[in-house]
Structure 1
Amino acid sequence: MADEDFTVIIGLEVHCQLDTASKLFCGCSADFRADAPNTHVCPVCLGLPGAMPVLNKKAIEYALKVGKALNCRIPEEGEFCRKNYFYPDLVKAYQITMGDNPLALGGYIEIEDDAGNPKVVNLTRIHVEEDPGRLVHMGNKERGHYTLVDYNRSGIPLIEMVTEPELSSPKEARRLLNKLRATLEYLDVFDPEKEGSIRVDANISIKGHERVEIKNISSYKGVEKALTFEITRQKNLIRRGGTISRETRHFQEGKGTTTSARSKEVANDYRYFPEPDLPVIRVSDWVEKIALPELPDARRDRFMSQYGIAVNHARTLTGDLHLAEFYELVAPVGAQITASWVADILIGELNYRDMPLSKVTSHADQFKELVILVRDKTITDKAGVDVLRVWLDSLNADGSAESPAGIVARLGLIREAGESFRGIVEKILAANPQAIADHKAGKKGALNFIVGQVMKETKGKSDPREIHAMIAEILGE
């Protein structure tokens, strides 16, 4: 069977931990990562007999804020239910969640498909629920393999955002997650730097075959990898005449594979019934009072109109709240050149070093100094990249850093005028007659090698455009 015979259908269930001070149904601290295991617990989040849940108002406000930002409809009533199943980290043997009456219905997220065209992905619902505890798998040769349970996480407020099965590829799924993360970050309802703050269950099928669920993927890159593997696995199985089983699978992060965990449950297996200790909530009138900040799409459009930057730069810069704020700090020295340096160069260097943007944001004035050096042609673009790398490497834990101007002076990177390196150009042209012959024969890019050699000889202090112009003059063109 050809690939065009396979239509991939993907839907996501995205769980986000709301960044509240306390848990969903009790006053225990929600900062479960900070202290020793099983210290942020009480009778409520441990599910002890007679303990009564009390709903966290801030968690509901945060969830409504997300629903409004994602264009959802807020019903008149929402109702908590008990979802019954057994798992070692679920202390009560049921989870308090929302069933047929969630907090928000419908809504949509706008992304681009794999061809770069606008695409709207519809949401089914958003509901609020409690996080279970956390399993910590241990083991060694001496003590064998065993699992510890930490209930500090039990009761942390979650929202679950469920999409319709309208995604067509792993890349689309990752773009949707990036857009969703940016929106949640702009809303200030979660902390993306905290481990496990977003977890994803992905449902995937080949049209005409059973659906498979991949549980608890903890990174956006992991979602793309898991879906890519699963598509290949399912296609190969179908080609061999096999049958896709309706099941739940786990993603093995280290191996990049999925493994079968159990047959897929259906709703009846969970025996949902209303939570008797919590009343129906009526909060639809809150929505009008919730003020939304400028969201990623609106900020992207403003960047394009206010700063005159290209759509690809605007999209990159507004895809992360802190990156957008940093850009606006440095844009006054030149909106377009700054957009290019932040979106194309700085981000690449940070990713290469696995360095967080937060290490740079406190040095906005020094970054502006670097952009000004390039803008005013005090140094070349290549020298600017060299200075950026040295500058990033000089950032210290105490907040100190070597200034870009100091780096330029120390390394002797001041740009030199064209006539100062004419002799170098003539020497390299004389040593490369074949490149000249290829150029005259119409071969595009034939002189790039010569330009590169001149740049190397001048240690980046010459401008490639000036070199090209000088070569044309020497060759009588």
Structure 2
Amino acid sequence: MEERETIIGLEIHCQLDTRSKMFCGCSTDFRDDEPNTHTCPVCLGLPGSMPMVNKRAIEFALKVAKALNCAINEESEFSRKNYFYPDLDKAYQITQYDKPLAEWGKLLIDGDNGEREIRITRIHLEEDPGRSVHMGTTDRGKYTLIDYNRAGIPLIEIVTEPDLRSPKEARKFLNKLRATLEYLNVFDSEKEGSLRVDANISLKGSERVEVKNISSYKGVEKALTFEVTRQRNLIRRGQRIARETRHFVEARGVTTSSRSKEEENDYRYFPEPDLLPLRVASWVDAIDLPELPDARRERFVSQYGISSEHAKTLTGGLKLAEFYEAVAPADPALAATWTADYLLGELNYRDFTIEAMPRELFKELITLVKGDAITDKSAVEILRIILDAVKEGKEPERPQAIVDRLGLAKSSGDQVTQMIDEVIVEQPAAVADYYAGKMQALNFLVGQVMKKCRGRADPGHLNILLKEKLDKKV
């Protein structure tokens, strides 16, 4: 049976990094504070309270819309979306419905089969509901606590067309969008709950399923991969795919049925009577966009002469791009290779961000590699020693101090020559195999010299020296 095409559309809820909430003056800096302490009559929805729109939130949303090539509507309008849920204190959410702030944008990604344009259906403003804290798991919890500190945080919802064709493409889109939002300085990806995703997924010709409130980039790919497998298995067994809302249980990597899918009329939308329509399209001309990821990638290639692949990796996040530009003066090409190919792997292994690596120490490490003072193997060892010190909360040593303490300086020419002579004497069988035409014997001899010098020599250079010395003896 031919497998059906996967069709995915995303609804991304992004908290705007403003100091106050969407419709009141309560602080958004609540994450380390006691629950229910950043509230007022407006964000609690108490009778008689009146909302007032946060101008900075509108400016941030317009900035995002402009960066995503959206058309700004001449007039947009807030509506009430009515539904009951414990963390929705007013029993309605102020959002935008049939008159959103902006529509019809696009974002380019590296898709499964080359560069692809993902269409943006709409961007609209709304307020975040409160937060449910489940004591136990969401499906088997003993009880749930409600924290209204988050109620009223400014959100933009970015809705895509169903243009994504795999879970991997969905994750790539989110990574590109996250980077764009960071470059715009409207969003802090490191804040808990700052980005949440609802994913609509179907196999061509089948009913659409919505997977709600996925809270991580990896989680999106995992949830959608599980859902593709689940739906394909149902089709193979001749069963019907139900139109429903499902919840992603991240700890188990599965989706579970939550409820039947709501229709728009279930929410009883109507215009928010306490807020006037927005007419802000004219504000866009005054918004200056910063250098965005694609433009920065092109500049890195032209200015620093690095590969397009390295440039793509290094511009994948604002802080990573800034880190690279800070260390590039040591040697742009080496800095790109060591940041993208070595440092990021070590950081990911330790669940660190780029900020964990002291820039000056990394520049010194690059300088040592460039000056041929240490081997790549020794440089990796030094990098790990520095990051392990950071993980333990200690002050890391400078790379040169580590070289001196552990004797990691590259072996000199005379030392290497002496070690080669010793290995030739100590390994007569391997030498005989080399003369018999077994070229793998040369690799063995190189390994023996590397062992003697504790990795402080270049294997490629050793290969040349050993071959020259052996060939002279013939």
Could you state the TM-score of these two structures normalised by the residue count of structure 2? Answer: 0.94
Name the structure 2 match of 1:329: 326
Is 1:428–1:453's contact at 8 Å kept on the other side of the alignment? no
> Given the alignment of the two structures, is residue 175 of structure 1 paired with residue 151 of structure 2, yes or no?
no
Q: Distance in 2 between matches of 1:434 and 1:347?
A: 43
Distance between the aligned counterparts of 2:443 and 2:392, measured in 1? 41
* Cα shift at 1:351: 1.1
The code of the aligned residue for 2:461 comes to E
Residue of structure 2 in register with 1:112 after alignment: 110
Deviations 1:193-224 (A, max 9, x none): 11110000011000000000000000000000
Q: Give, in whole Å, the separation in 2 of the partners of 1:232 and 1:98.
A: 34
Report the 3-state secondary structure (helix = DSSP H, G, I; strand = E; otherwise coil) of the residue aligned with 1:107: strand
Secondary structure in 1 aligned to 2:283? helix
Rounded to whole Å, the distance in 1 between the matches of 2:178 and 2:426 is 51
- SS across alignment from 1:67: helix
Q: What CA distance in whole angstroms lies between the structure 1 residues aligned with 2:451 and 2:179?
A: 41
Q: Which residue of 2 aligns with 1:472?
A: 467
- Residue number in structure 1 paired with 2:39: 41
**In structure 2, what is the Cα distance between the partners aligned to 1:353 and 1:44?**
42
Deviation string for 1:28-64 (max 9, x for gaps)? 1111212111111111111111111000000000000
Q: How high is the sequence identity, in percent, across the aligned residues?
A: 62
Residue from 303, 307, 310 that aligns with 2:304: 307
Q: Distance in 2 between matches of 1:210 and 1:427?
A: 74
Q: Within 1, Cα distance between the matches of 2:469 and 2:258? A: 71
Q: CA contact under 8 A between 1:132 and 1:153: conserved in structure 2?
A: yes
Q: CA deviation at 1:256?
A: 0.3
Q: Is the Cα–Cα contact under 8 Å of residues 391 and 407 in structure 1 kept in the other structure?
A: no
Read off the aligned partner of 1:156 and give its amino acid letter.
Answer: I
Deviations 1:348-403 (A, max 9, x none): 1111122222122xx32221111111101011111111111112223378783211
2:191 matches 1:194: yes
2:122 to 125, 128, 142: 125
Q: Specify which of 22, 25, 37 is matched with residue 23 of structure 2.
A: 25
Map 1:74-473 to 2 at 5 A.
74-115=72-113, 117-138=114-135, 145-360=142-357, 363-395=358-390, 400-416=395-411, 417=413, 418-426=416-424, 430-432=428-430, 436=434, 440=437, 447-473=442-468
Distance 2:50 2:232 in 1: 49
1:66–1:401 distance in 2 versus 1, CA, 3 Å: same
Q: CA deviation at 1:447?
A: 4.9
Paired with 1:30 and 1:321, the residues of 2 have a C-alpha distance of: 23
CA RMSD in angstroms, aligned pairs only:
2.0
For residue 72 of structure 2, give the secondary structure of its aligned residue in structure 1.
coil
Query: Hey, what's the Cα distance between the residues in 1 that align with 2:433 and 2:37?
Result: 72
Structure 2 gaps of 5+ residues are none
Question: Letter of the aligned partner of 2:268 in structure 1?
Answer: R
4+ residue runs of structure 1 moved beyond 6 angstroms?
Answer: 396-399
Aligned counterparts of 1:9 and 1:34: Cα–Cα separation in 2? 39
Between 383-392 and 465-474, report the one with greater CA deviation: 465-474
Q: What is the rounded CA distance, in whole Å, between the counterparts of 2:287 and 2:100 in structure 1?
A: 19
Deviations 1:116-144 (A, max 9, x none): x111111100000000000111269xxx8
Please tell me whether the aligned partners of residues 419 and 452 of structure 2 are also in contact (alpha carbons under 8 angstroms). Answer: no
Match of 2:48 among 28, 47, 50: 50
**Change in CA separation of 1:469 and 1:77 when aligned onto 2, cut-off 3 Å:** same
In 2, distance between residues paired with 1:130 and 1:149?
Answer: 17
Q: Partners in 1 of 2:350 and 2:278 — Cα distance?
A: 48
> Any idea what the Cα deviations from partners look like across 1:390-419, whole Å, max 9, x if unmatched?
122233787832110010011111111242
CA distance change for structure 1 residues 241 and 187 in 2, over 3 Å: closer, same or farther?
A: same
How far has the Cα of 1:452 moved from its partner?
A: 3.6
Unaligned runs of 5+ in 1: none
